[in-house]
Amino acid sequence: MNTRFFSILLICILAVSLLTGCGRVASEEGSTDSADDYVILTPADGSYASGEEDSDSEDEQEEEPEEYEDEEEDSSDEDYSGDAPVTQEWTLNEIENIYEHYRAVLNSTETIRITSSSSVKIDGGGYAAYLEEINDFLEENDSVGYSAGNFEADSLAFVDLDQDGVDEVCISISDSDQFYLILHFYDNEVYGYIMPARGFESVSTSGTYLGSAGGSAYTYILKTGFNGAKQIETTLAHAESEDYYGRDNKSITKQEFERMVDEVLDDPAEWYDFDDNSWESAIDQLES
């Protein structure tokens, strides 16, 4: 009897174990299917495959600022080239070459491209003439303001007007009237600039000079420079009236203006007679 009891008990235990195992397997299969419906994949870049979290993340992402290219201002109507003097730098060989060009012009073996301060032609313009042909130039260019006569060079001075280390040649041209012809080297040519006598008086070794609007009194202290072939004149000080004197857009005293005039008068350039060729030795000295 005991043996039958234990056999029945063992069968019951096995039956219960078998039923319990089947239920666990069924439960696990059911939980796996259920979990698949709610899995949200989050790749390494943090984006979402689906669901509301996807749109939320896009909202949370910072918008990159739009990049704008700098707009270039149209400067076609604002060309300031040539409005200010430019100081040229020269080598020793170039300086010697410039003075040889001057020598050739003064000997009328090379032409000058003559312009005038009232009608400057910049782009290769001007009247190409030998110095001895100055009367022909005046006859063909009424805009200069001088009628053809018997003009000829009577004296000249070497002055570094633009302070670039190379002298310009200042030639006094005279007849019944008088003017000055300033020689300046640019782009392998010698340019000549006509200056009225009253606008180029008492040039100093430093390149400053005086001008007058009329009468005997000096009313301007001036200097000249160049930008390419263009001559640019600058007023350093002026006497507007007996009661007003100006410098750098500021009022100065009459005494200060007169002191500046005296500085120009006390430092005169050296002039050479044109006909006796004394200027030849001056060029030799400048080249050495």
| Per-residue model confidence as pLDDT tens digits over 33-60 | 443 332 323 333 333 333 444 444 444 4
The neighbour count for residue 76, using CB atoms within 10 Å, is: 6
Identify which of 113-117, 171-175, 192-196 has the greatest average pLDDT.
192-196
- Please tell me the least confidently modeled range out of 76-85, 86-95, 279-288: 76-85
Answer yes or no: is 86 within a domain: no
The neighbour count for residue 183, using CB atoms within 10 Å, is: 23
**Strand partners for 229:** none
Average pLDDT over residues 146-171: 88
Answer yes or no: is 114 within a domain: yes
Is residue 78 scored above 90 in pLDDT? no
Answer yes or no: is 32 within a domain: no
Domain residues for the domain of 232 are 92-287
Average pLDDT over residues 68-79: 38
Could you tell me how many residues make up the chain? 288
* Number of domains making up the chain: 1
CA distances from 274 to 40, 160, 177 (A): 103, 19, 18
Answer yes or no: is 8 within a domain: no
Residue 145's pLDDT band (cuts 50, 70, 90): low
Answer yes or no: is 283 within a domain: yes
Answer yes or no: is 225 within a domain: yes
Average pLDDT over residues 123-148: 70
Answer yes or no: is 108 within a domain: yes
Is residue 10 scored above 50 in pLDDT? yes
- 70 vs 95, which has greater pLDDT? 95
Q: What's this model's pTM, rounded to 2 decimal places? A: 0.67
Read off the tokens for 84.
């200010």
Answer yes or no: is 271 within a domain: yes
